[in-house]
Chains A and B, each alone.
Chain A
């Protein structure tokens, strides 16, 4: 196999917006000045599906990020992609609305009661439905659109052929995808209660880390071992190629508690995205993509290690 495949010149494709999850103003500034069009940010007082270390430490820093995005002509979203428990709903919904009024470009949501809260108060913003919203078909997408959603992050566990009806121009939705070769979840994230480090705080020693059940070798009752399966890297590269050509308009790089790792994944995701925008053929994309993707990552699989 040649070291590099000759890339056939082809018509350039549309540019995808790039969204990166961030935890600090410094990270936001880093990504927004190096290829990201949007960032998304979490606050502990607004329920979201991230570990503590993936959220901003202070609201003032998040507001500063909104200000920064505005100065750069870019966008900063608030992530609120968890169901708001009854006990905190009123406060959390009010905080969400406050940050939208301050200037957040929109909100990434899961909880339909929050959509209703905004609608009842006549508050308008750009809502993105999280993958955690479990929207796997065109009818569900229409259901969410009627409730105020403008964009959907496609579930990672959906093949392009299955997702194709959701790209219907009549629906007119913006469709965002994870850079699948680098971000894929083995089981449906919002419905998984298997042992996982995600619920832990930072540990000083990796020996104290809870294992990921979905990445562990499990002994079968009939002999041998089993690991929870996922599509191959080549499959996920092909899926990413197809989603782009179906019309996905945004590419997402997930938050993580380890900034260096997120930066590495961001640049790899950006390379893959820019390759698609160059208009390369499927074969060339997969060929080049294999070099960029050393192994399929799993969304949310981050080990939080204290640095001394």
Chain B
């Protein structure tokens, strides 16, 4: 569960930020939100058969943020009570880079969520390869994942890694396949059942 939060906190940060909060406020709010979730065990009591985790999280965050404003007191500051280390500076840089000026907070959230999913999957893939001692191969092949660089680099990579071109091709293919499996698995964690995975993927596609 914590893993999940770590992967998807940026969309929440972006949402809160887009609502008009300063970077500091946004960080506090996000931090506070997670604390709130974990403390109240909100996540474990979610009835997952009823919909998407993503929407649930957004609704919960909205409520939380509204509550915080109502109470008119700042969320718990970082420092001693930090539950998860959030790289706030990196977050702010990302936020600034997003061409997000015309988007509503909700849309920005969904878009960031979609990208966070992809990043998370690539991360998991990387971990698998590293565990098997094949991190060099992964680094060489990772930019082939989306299919933009078709086949042009196989020869180069073969040279780099000391393998034959054929072997490189097979490896790339397996990596892509595994990527797909992981993507579907990651989405599966956030939806109620397997049939909804495709719907969720298509929805996220639109959000980009």
A and B found bound together: no
